[in-house]
Every structure is written in structure tokens, then in C-alpha cells.
Structure 1
């Protein structure tokens, strides 16, 4: 494996890539524990996939913005290291698959030449910051949220407070009260507002999907924009200390809020205020890069299929607030497109628009700043690429995760059934091509990467067992979810479970009933009126598994008989390490704290020292087979098991020593003394462990 020391201009990025290269080598040599290595590579966007020996690489694109040059660089990387297929995710990232682990440092180094990162795209970190794809051009927006989303991304990238949490942490920004950033399903959701001339946000806290979806609480009806980063740091600090770590199923923010309640959470936020390095953090939106729109000559175009063109215009051309310009939506089937088309698209927007694209939460592409008189030309050029299918963000536009194609956790095919449902809608329900009131989403398992439980009509991959103990692919049908705007939404109800091959028939029954009886209501309003049992009654006939045919045992998009194969999930699973490994990590954190101290980064140094002390305590508790579910419980249990019993002496108690963290302002004096405390804790606990081993 080659070194990249001379290829990366940014020394921080260079260090990251060299560290990944080093850890891969140590892992291959058996010097790094597999679980610890998994944690490190996940935090660098390297994710194991269903197929052995290869990796999925998640490319982090804050709020879905990608420049033409960045897209060209991603294409180069995909062609060289992957298969040339690009997959847009529901978090506005791009994923590529089938990458050799040993080549990932080189891949990352290539991406960084155009300021594209893999850092914290996966793992127990602050994930990609998402936003409305129309941010900056939205007719209804009070202001452009892009500079604020970008500031949050930059502030928390590599920030030690968000590197090793119990689980992932997701943030969104919505351009307007339409809440197209889906604030109500995020750990933190921000909706743009202006009050008394001040820019700010409505703040939603602790939403989530998965097997137990939770609607976010309103934390603030209005928070000035210079408070959002200090608030988010407080929230993450509380989550890091009190959030579950042992049980992955309970390790999200939503479970912490459910357990302690909003008022108790607010009290914990207050306790962190002193430790946060910035009490206000003004975001200079004026310095955000200005749009540079190309000024080409308007080509002469003659549209051949005028009916198709007019239909496309009615669904895929979006007005924007800048006079004389529109945005063009590209419906990307299942979020998958290839580098040959991506390159041509990049050149098109570079020469005829603003040189940028937005990836959407529905796995599509939006081209902003297209001159109105250039729309026919764009249609002509996009048609050559196969990118003029009507139905952008309409019922025909189905969202789906990769499912059993590449994901370890996939139970049933998402992409196969999605393609079939789109075929059914086109052939049998053409009016839905222009219908925005029916949103269909599909996930291959309960983790909801396809966001099925917030859709009007959702499908979740499952399996079903016959009386003869044969296993067939199945779909849980969910109905009635919806986004109601301004932080309000409804999660879908589970109605029935049907064999996968009956998914299209389930959709037909639902749409036929809606067309016959909906009487102009939106689908979610119609569902709310009729209720769960109404739909169960006419879908129940599809649940019978006594009459399955051979075809029912073959999943959509497959030719072989179905096997339920679920691997080990890598969606930020919690790590159980050996005691020696934990002590080794504590020393690494002390080294990080010392380096941050030299650089004048007092808050970062303090947090690394804190992590070292908690990690050292965790090591001894692990040796005692004591639960280490949260940082808070580790601190308390260490006092109870080791200090109160006089096994280890800490004058004033271990808790008081460690929790100096949130009682002191982050300055040089405290950072130095706290680092010395961390060194002494590690030395004392390692000495205790060594003595125990000698006496054993």
C-alpha cells in the first residue's frame, strides 16, 4: 500500500488517510481487533457489504450539493476503484460498491483533490447534514439555509464530541414550513424562520424511524441562528454521556428522550452550557459562495414529441424565486445512475447552468439556475441521457434502499419490487405520474433506510413461513404516513404482511379503493378517515400462505429460490473490546488531547481527556463483567465498585474528577490540568489491572 503524504495539501486530511492506511495494514497483520477496526473504517465511510471481501464506500455530500467538478472526480474514482455505478441515498450521499479495502486510502486521497470527504459518512458519528434540495431557490423560503447547513457540517467534522457516540446522529435543515427536510424524523431538525427581522429556526429534537419510529419534540419554536451550533454541541454532549451504548437497538437519541423526558433533557442541556466553547456562534451567510451562472448562447431546438415534452415540463420543471430561472428535476430510478451519463450531466450544468447539482432525499437530482429559455435545450440533452422520465417527486417516483442487492441487513428485495411497482403505475395508473399526494417508499428491513414508515404507502422487507416451514420473501404493508409541514408528521401503520410477489396486487387494491372512494382527499387524509381496520379487511385475502406457488419463493429481481440471509449489520453497531484494547485506546485519546493542546484547541483537548478517563474506567468495569451501557453509568458504577470500596483511591471521587468537564470553561489552564488528570487515571487503572493479573 502506497503512502499519500505528498499528495494531500490539507495536513489534517493527510493524517486521516495515513491513519486509515496504517490501520488497514495492522488489521491485515492481526494487530488490530476486528471490531475496533470496523469502528475506525466506518467513521471513514468504508462499509462492509453483503458480498464478502469488498466494501461499500459512502461519499459525504453535505445537504446534497455537488459541483460539476466534484461529480467528475467521483466518476473518475468510481470507474477506477468501483463498477461505474453511482447510488444516491436518502441522506443525499453517493455510494459506490465493490471496492477493495486496501485501495480505500488511495480512493479517499483522489476524492479530496476536489474537496470531497468520506469522513463520518458512517459509524457512531454526526452523519451527513441534509437539507431541502430547493434551498436557495425555494419560492417559500424566508432565507437560504445552505450556509447554515454548511457551517454545521464544518464545525462537527472531526470534532471529538461526535466521534464515538452510542449510535449515529442525524441533522436536517428545512427551507420553509413545508418541512421538506423532514425535521420531525431527525435527531435535530431545523426549520427556517424569521422573527422580528432575526434569522433563526424552529428546532425539533429526537425524532427517528426504524422499527419504533418516534415523532420529534419541539425544543424551540424559534432559536436565533447564532445559537444553533452551541445548542447542537450541548445536545451531542448529553447524548454522548447518557445515551445507551451496549444495546444497539436502544442507542438512538429517541430512546433517551423517551426514557427521561423533555424537561429532564433540558436540565442536562443547561449543565453543559459552561463547557461549550462558544456561547454564540454567528454564521456569516454573506461569505457563502455566490452562484456563478453560465451565460451561453441559446441554442435553437425543435421538440419532436410535444406531448411528452409538455408532460415532462408539468412534473419536472420547478419554479424558483430568482426571476427568469427554473430548476429541473431528474427522476433517477432507485437512485442509480452511471458514470458515463454523470459525466455528460456535469458538463451540461457547467456550460449551461450554475455548475452544480442537488441530490434529493428522494434519491433524485435537481439542476438549479436553468434559464427559462434554455428549458427546451435541457430537455433535448437530458433526453439523450435517458433523463426525461416524467414524475419527479410524484407517486411514480418510488424511494427504495439497496436491500438484498448489497446490504448485510436486507431481508427482501427493495429494488426489485420498486421497479415492478413503477411498471404497474405507468401501465395501469398513468394519472399518478403527475400525482404528488401519494408517496411510496420501500425498505429491505426494519431499519427504514428507504423511509417506508413515513410514506403514504410503505413496504418493508420481511420473510414469511408456511406450515411446512418453507420461507418466502414478504412485505409488510404500511399505510397513512405523511409530512404535514412545520415539524408535524404522521408515521404509517402496519396493516398486513403479504408474500412479496403479491406486493403489486396490494398496491392495486389500495389505489383502486382510493380512486373509487377518496373523493378528492389526499391519501393520508383518506386513510385517517377510514382507519387501519378498513384497509386490513380488503387486503387480508393476500396474507394467506397456504396456497403459495413456486414463483412466490423467488424474490423480485432474482432467479434463484429465496434464502433468508442476514449478515452482521454495520449501521454503527456498539463495540465490545478487550480490556487491553480499551487501555490502548485511552492512551490514543491522551495523545490526541496533547496534540489538540499544542494546537490551541482547548475544547477538543478537554473532550479527548474526558473520553480517555471514561474509557479507562470502562476497561476495569469490563474486566468485572459490569454493564457499560452509558458514559454516565460507567462513571457512577466505577465510583461504586472501585472507589467506595477502597479498591482504588480517588480523593473526592471519580465522578467529581471526570465531571470537571462540564463545570469549567474550555481554556488553556483547565485543558492542561485535565490532561494531567487523564494521564494519572490511566496510569493508576493500568497499574491496578496489572497487579490483579499478577495475583490471579
Structure 2
């Protein structure tokens, strides 16, 4: 590259194709749009072939159920894009002002508590976006989610548009949310007052697209997301506006309808442990693999690919927690895979997630990956009982790629002045939650120096063990406030 255009100009062109320059302005990242986190065995082997061909040490599993390849030159990026298209593995809409990868509960179709499998609807919307993305002129990105049940593992209640499977007098329906989102000016989504027939999902999605095009802010990028529209209009007026667009879409569009299939049967099997989940299907299990900080090493990818290749029924899905779910395993196969990947993180705190951060992320402020590894090392060195520390969610900047604002413990990177020096620091958020029953933001506690956070987590772990409480239970206690204040710089 001869740097003939600015970083912002390049991002404007490349973002919509899922390609971003890294901070050194010499290397590049490409985001492979694995649809709703579903990865076929063929695509897994294709990704592995890219790892081998371009000498990559790892791949990053994202918090939007995609796979990112980093540290590539621009020619390699173009080669991957071209080859991916030939194999139906796309990057279009992986960034920029486009609908993003449609998120999906990773246990959809095998979840014991689900009313029906929401996978077909997530894929239907994803395919619709892929076919129409070039024609949309959106103010900014738009995110849609499909959750299987009240656990809301696809974060339907904090997306621009979210659907959750429910049952109304035995009839499969969707609960729906609109205009939620993370980052600057976060908002829990607005609950739609009526249930939605699964067959009509695309009408509602297209109505939201049309509303966003008509009412979104094209002038102020900071307020160009859907969550700012009901703030400006008022919730009631926003819902009335949505209904008008929905009425028009139903007059002008004719979409294929997918009938829901009610989930039947229930396995008697129990979970083997926290990362080996009994499926609805009798005798089958899903194993959850969490690479450290979402960075899946090339040698681990090789082992996983070889394993699923010889297990005919095995399926792979990615989660929004940077995890890989290997599904449809017998108990013996599940135990074999867990033994093979015993170095993968098992306890909640060891499954801490982090965005890729600097120096890879062009928009990043701090090294979120460094903090993630620092916390895990400190916890291990202290010999803590890890059972009470939760998963920690770390974003390298306020953009909330790790959804720090709804985490039980969340951190967001920033710079602070300490004396005459600018120091690396993180805002601390505590007590957030995502669920169908109660999604709410965590409370901002203040700012901590990045260098002090691992020790804070160690002392917090000791306090939780001593008090025999979770973070949520202890957050209002004086002992928690005293400990936290010791580490705050502002």
C-alpha cells in the first residue's frame, strides 16, 4: 500500500466488505461471515487452510459469532475474499453501514428449554440481508438477534431488533424487542407490545429497515443507531411509526413463510459439567470450548477439525462469548473432546471474554487482550477458588464489543491523567444482566488503572469466597464498596 487514501477513507470503502486496516496501517483483518455462528465442516477446513497458507498462529472468535483473521497483507485479504466467495463463505456486510451477522443462541435446536428451533429464522434473515445489503443506504450498522428462550443467549433484548421464542397457549410465537444497543448511549431495547408469528418475521425486519432509513440520523454518526430514534420521538410515537412501516411492507412485499416446528421429547440426561451440556436429544451432548480471550490457536483448530471430521453427526456453532460449541456428541465423544481440550477454560472467570483490542483494532484504545491474560494469570497464581468469580467482559474502548455495560463485571478502556502522565485505565461496570426477564445495565463504579485490575480481581475473589456471595449479591455491601474504592483513580 502506498497510503494514497486516508485511514477513514479506506475504512469507508473496506468496512462493508468485512475488512479493516490494523493500527500499524500495514496489516489487515478480515471478518468471515459465518452465518449466525454456524460453521460447516467444509468451512472449518477452509478456514484452517487459510491459517496454514498464510502462516497464522491463531484465529479470533468474535462476540458476533464470526471468525476474524488478523495480520494479513492486502493481497492475502483479496485472495481470501475471492476464494471465500467460490466456497460460499462471505465477508459482505461484516462491517460498515450494513446489517451485521444475525446472532443466534448456540444451543438452538438442541436446547432443553426451547419452544421451537429458531435457527431457520435467523438464517432466513441473514440470507435476506446478504442478498439486499448492497441496496441498503443505512445511517449505520443494524443488528438482529434470535434467542431460544428466557436465557437470551443471543442478546435479543439489547439489539436493534431481537426475537425470542415463546409459546402462547401452545402456539409458537416470538417476543420482539426494538431499538436496543451497546456502546455510546446504550439502551435496553423497547418491548414490542404484541407477539409476532414466526412466519411473518421478514415483514417485521423489513419494516425496521425502512424505519431506520427514514428516521435514522445521517448527519451525526454518534447518534446514528436505532436506539436514538425512540429517544427523539418518544417510545409511543416510535412504535406508531414502526406500525406504519409494517403496514406498508405487508402491502408491498410477499415473503416466503417458514412454519415453526414445536420441540418434542426431552432427554433424561444431566449436564456432565458446566461446559458439557445435555441436549434435548436423548444421549447427546454439546461441549463448549473457550479459547483464552477468544484467540483459538492454530494447533487447537487443527485438532478440532480432525475430531469433527471423524464424528459424522458433529456440528459446530459459535457463541457470543467467543466460544465454539461442538454439538451432537455421545457421552464418550464429549468426554474425549474435553480431555483433548483440557487446557481450554472451564470456570466462569476463566471463560472471560475480550475484544481483540489494540494493536489489532483500528478503533481500539487499550490492549484488552493483555488485561484479559493478566487477570487469568493473577487468578491462577493466587490459587483462588474460582467458583464465585464470574465471566469478566473486557472492551478495549467504549464501543462495547464485549458488551461490558451489561456484564456482571465489565471493563471499558480509556486514558486518564494521573499527575502529568496519561495512563492506561478502564472504566468498571458492575451488576449488568441479559435475560428475557430482566435485562439491565451495570452500574459504573469509576476508573481503575489497567496495571491494578488483576490484583483487584484477586482481592475481589477472596472477598466473595469469604462472604460466600456472588458479585451481584455483594455489590451493595459496604465491604465491596470499600474494596473497590481502594483501586479507583476517578
Q: TM-score, normalised by structure 1?
A: 0.65
Picking from 341, 350, 357, the partner of 1:382 is 341
Residues 260-285 of structure 1 show CA distances to partners (whole Å, capped at 9, x for unaligned) of: 12221222223323245436641256
* Matched position secondary structure for 1:199: strand
Q: Distance in 1 between matches of 2:183 and 2:55?
A: 30
Report the CA distance shift for 1:355/1:111 in structure 2 as closer, same or farther (over 3 A). farther
1:508 aligns to what? 458
**Are 1:495 and 1:535, in contact at CA under 8 Å, matched by a contact in 2?**
no
Picking from 494, 497, 502, the partner of 2:447 is 497
Q: Which moved more, 1:413-422 or 1:195-204?
A: 195-204
2:363 aligns to what? 409
Picking from 302, 305, 310, the partner of 1:346 is 305
Report the CA distance shift for 1:257/1:279 in structure 2 as closer, same or farther (over 3 A). farther
What's the offset of the Cα at 1:204? 1.0
**Are 1:156 and 1:162, in contact at CA under 8 Å, matched by a contact in 2?**
no
Q: Distance in 2 between matches of 1:244 and 1:114?
A: 37
Q: Distance in 1 between matches of 2:36 and 2:437?
A: 18
Map residues 77-96 of structure 1 onto 2, 5 A cutoff.
Answer: 77-81=50-54, 83-96=56-69
What's the offset of the Cα at 1:429? 5.6
Report the CA distance shift for 1:281/1:197 in structure 2 as closer, same or farther (over 3 A). farther
Aligned residues: 479
What's the offset of the Cα at 1:110? 1.5
Residues 46-88 of structure 1 show CA distances to partners (whole Å, capped at 9, x for unaligned) of: 1121121222101111221101210110121233346242100
**Are 1:460 and 1:477, in contact at CA under 8 Å, matched by a contact in 2?**
yes
2:166 aligns to what? 193
Report the CA distance shift for 1:232/1:544 in structure 2 as closer, same or farther (over 3 A). closer
What's the offset of the Cα at 1:216? 0.9
Residues 321-361 of structure 1 show CA distances to partners (whole Å, capped at 9, x for unaligned) of: 10011111112111112333313311211212524211111
Map residues 553-564 of structure 1 onto 2, 5 A cutoff.
Answer: none
Q: Which moved more, 1:349-358 or 1:240-249?
A: 349-358
- The Cα RMSD (Å) is 2.6
Q: TM-score, normalised by structure 2?
A: 0.90
Does the alignment pair 1:421 with 2:375?
yes
Does the alignment pair 1:177 with 2:150?
yes
Picking from 32, 39, 42, the partner of 1:69 is 42
Picking from 354, 365, 373, the partner of 1:400 is 354
What's the offset of the Cα at 1:108? 1.4
Does the alignment pair 1:283 with 2:244?
no
What's the offset of the Cα at 1:120? 0.3
Report the CA distance shift for 1:98/1:376 in structure 2 as closer, same or farther (over 3 A). closer
1:486 aligns to what? 436
**Are 1:161 and 1:237, in contact at CA under 8 Å, matched by a contact in 2?**
no
Q: Distance in 2 between matches of 1:126 and 1:165?
A: 9
Map residues 197-596 of structure 1 onto 2, 5 A cutoff.
Answer: 197-272=170-245, 273-275=247-249, 277-278=252-253, 281-283=256-258, 313-383=272-342, 386-387=343-344, 389-391=345-347, 394-428=348-382, 430-432=384-386, 434-435=387-388, 438-467=390-419, 469-483=420-434, 485-486=435-436, 488-517=438-467, 519-520=468-469, 522-527=470-475, 529-530=476-477, 535-544=480-489
Q: Distance in 1 between matches of 2:123 and 2:137?
A: 22
Map residues 98-177 of structure 1 onto 2, 5 A cutoff.
Answer: 98-160=71-133, 163-177=136-150
Q: Distance in 1 between matches of 2:473 and 2:74?
A: 48
Q: Distance in 2 between matches of 1:447 and 1:262?
A: 24
Q: Distance in 2 between matches of 1:38 and 1:360?
A: 27
- Report which of the two structures shows the higher radius of gyration computed on alpha carbons: 1
Q: Distance in 2 between matches of 1:160 and 1:413?
A: 32
**Are 1:230 and 1:281, in contact at CA under 8 Å, matched by a contact in 2?**
no
Q: Distance in 2 between matches of 1:221 and 1:82?
A: 52
What's the offset of the Cα at 1:244? 0.9
2:267 aligns to what? none
**Are 1:184 and 1:487, in contact at CA under 8 Å, matched by a contact in 2?**
no
Residues 571-630 of structure 1 show CA distances to partners (whole Å, capped at 9, x for unaligned) of: xxxxxxxxxxxxxxxxxxxxxxxxxxxxxxxxxxxxxxxxxxxxxxxxxxxxxxxxxxxx
Report the CA distance shift for 1:376/1:158 in structure 2 as closer, same or farther (over 3 A). closer
**Are 1:207 and 1:215, in contact at CA under 8 Å, matched by a contact in 2?**
yes
* Matched position secondary structure for 2:416: strand
Q: Distance in 2 between matches of 1:69 and 1:197?
A: 38
* Matched position secondary structure for 2:95: coil
Q: Distance in 1 between matches of 2:335 and 2:116?
A: 30
Runs of 5+ in structure 2 lacking a partner?
262-270
Q: Which moved more, 1:508-517 or 1:118-127?
A: 508-517
Runs of 5+ in structure 1 lacking a partner?
1-26, 287-311, 546-696
* Matched position secondary structure for 2:227: helix
